Amino acid sequence: MNLPSGFKFSGVSCGIKASGKKDIALITSDVPAVAAGVYTQNVVRAASIDWNRQITPTDHLSAIIVNSGNANACTGEEGFRNNQKMAFETANAIDCTSGQVCIMSTGVIGQQLPMDLVAKGIKRAGNELGSGDSDFDSACEAILTTDKGTKTAFRSFEFEGETVRLAGMAKGAGMIGPNMATMLGIVVTDASLTPPVAQDILKRVADKSFNCISVEGHTSTNDSLVLMANGQSPAPMKHWKALHAFTDSLTELCVELATQIPADGEGASHLISIKVSGAENDADADTVARSVAMSNLVKTAVAGADPNWGRITSAAGLTSVRFEPDELCLSINGSSIFEKGQPVAFDEQKLSQSMAENFEAKVEIRIGSGAGEAMHWTSDLNEAYVKFNSLYTT
């Protein structure tokens, strides 16, 4: 790993999860950091969302505290007070104010947090903070719920002889439907940014990454993506070339993190990548790509390695985006199967075998000759997903 300077991490178990797995993560900056955030657009939201919206963007964030196994959503006034207590306990543990603490919660909706256990966990997490790779790994593990494993990504770049580093962690496998930054995501960097610049960059990056993924199209009550930038790298970041390099690095990192989520979709046997090009603008391309990604008929066809291209062309055409059907082209895993509005002869058995043998199913759609393009990523849909989610709380 190549972790940014000036950050510490820890992950501990406090007993929220009956399994005894880690369920409290703490990420801190040695100096007050600039922070930006994007959050769920669901009107039914966790207490942590309202708290974080009041805090970010800021130039004095000291910590992010995360609990997993309990969403603290739809928990009323008691849930709000418990969220406040998490901030106060974190502030006491690392010697800052509660207004310098962002909070993330993830897990089952509608249950109150066991605050005696949580308070002890936060204190322990404060005592176990470290700046090593194993400390980062512990924090990554502690934010998980139904994930099969941790989701991480790293980037760095040089500007005027100085290095800027970025490190990210995320969690998410179900209740994934992009409408801001689907899941929990944390990115730390030693770049020097201002709050307005950090917020603007993060929003644009989220629109190209976390807002372009889905599993079942369900926008969570707790979705949060927070960026912390503590300025510990001496690289001068006011030059537009430096900000451009940072934006590119952050975009690459967030796309890598985001695509790990549908790849880990509950019960998923395929990651489906959907590229739409030839639209009049990027927004139109995004609308078409999203329509295909959200189609259960497309998702089940991929699960069965069935190159049923009619489902894809139909999903592409059911939006408000206008295009000429005789310009529509489609390929799956590099095999052209529909060109200029006409079916193309292809080896159905060979393509089915390709879909079965490759974890990623690559769908490419061209709807015209415009410059607009977009990418979306989703998981397939099969019996394993239905079984898993039918038994989630029981």
List the chain domain ranges. Answer: 7-263, 271-390
Residue 391 has pLDDT above 80, yes or no: no
DSSP 279: B
Residue for token digits 């490190």?
A: 167
User: Apex CA 78: angle with CA 74 and CA 84, to 5°?
Assistant: 100
Residue 384 has pLDDT above 60, yes or no: yes
Separation in Å, CA 322 to CA 103, 154, 283: 43, 39, 12
Residue for token digits 């399994």?
A: 19
User: Apex CA 373: angle with CA 335 and CA 40, to 5°?
Assistant: 115
- Is the fold of 7-263 the same as that of 271-390? no
DSSP 348: H
The pLDDT assigned to 181 comes to 52
Q: What percent of the chain has pLDDT over 90?
A: 82
Average pLDDT over residues 162-180: 80
Residue 93 three-state SS: helix
- Sequence-separated (6 or more) residues with CB below 8 Å from residue 371: 281
Residue for token digits 């993506």?
A: 225
The answer to whether residue 182 is catalytic is yes
Burial string for 224-255 (b: 16+ CB within 10 Å, else e) reads bbbbbbbbbbebebeeeebbebbbebbbbbbb
The pLDDT assigned to 150 comes to 95
Burial string for 296-310 (b: 16+ CB within 10 Å, else e) reads eebbebbbebebbbe
CATH of 7-263, one of 3.40.50.150, 3.60.70.12, 1.20.810.10, 3.40.50.300: 3.60.70.12
CATH of 271-390, one of 3.30.2290.10, 3.60.15.10, 3.40.50.10140, 3.10.20.340: 3.10.20.340
Active-site residue, selected from the candidate residues 182, 189, 251, 378:
182
Residue 247 corresponds to which tokens in the numbers above?
Answer: 């934006």
Cα torsion 356, 333, 294, 104: sign: positive
Residues written for the chain:
394
What's the alpha-carbon Rg for the chain, to the nearest Å?
22
Query: 143, 66 in Cβ contact below 8 A?
Result: yes
The pLDDT assigned to 43 comes to 80
The pLDDT assigned to 26 comes to 98
Query: 14, 24 in Cβ contact below 8 A?
Result: yes
In whole angstroms, give the CA distance from residue 168 to residue 149: 14
| Mean pLDDT, rounded, of the chain | 93
Confidence of residue 352 (pLDDT cuts 50, 70, 90): very high
Residue 294 has pLDDT above 70, yes or no: yes
The pLDDT assigned to 182 comes to 53
- Cβ of 287: how many Cβ atoms within 10 Å? 18
User: Apex CA 252: angle with CA 69 and CA 136, to 5°?
Assistant: 40
Residue 25 has pLDDT above 80, yes or no: yes
The pLDDT assigned to 217 comes to 64
Question: How many CA atoms, within 13 angstroms, populate the side-chain half-sphere of residue 345?
Answer: 0
Q: Express each pLDDT in 113-125 by its tens digit.
A: 999 999 999 999 9
Please state whether 102 falls in left (phi above 0), alpha (psi between -120 and 50) or beta.
Answer: beta
Burial string for 346-355 (b: 16+ CB within 10 Å, else e) reads beeeebbebb
Query: 22, 149 in Cβ contact below 8 A?
Result: no
The pLDDT assigned to 115 comes to 97
Q: Are strands 58-70 and 271-278 parallel, antiparallel or unpaired?
A: unpaired
Residue 174 has pLDDT above 80, yes or no: no
Cα torsion 145, 148, 150, 152: sign: negative
- Indicate the pTM of the whole model: 0.90
The residue ranking higher by pLDDT, 196 or 391, is: 196
In whole angstroms, give the CA distance from residue 41 to residue 63: 24
Average pLDDT over residues 49-73: 95
The pLDDT assigned to 41 comes to 77
In whole angstroms, give the CA distance from residue 129 to residue 132: 9
Residue 257 has pLDDT above 60, yes or no: yes
What ranges in the chain are assigned the alpha helix state H? 47-55, 76-94, 115-127, 133-142, 195-208, 240-263, 282-293, 296-303, 309-317, 348-357, 383-390
Q: Express each pLDDT in 214-238 by its tens digit.
A: 876 666 677 889 999 999 999 999 8
Residue at 260: amino acid letter: Q
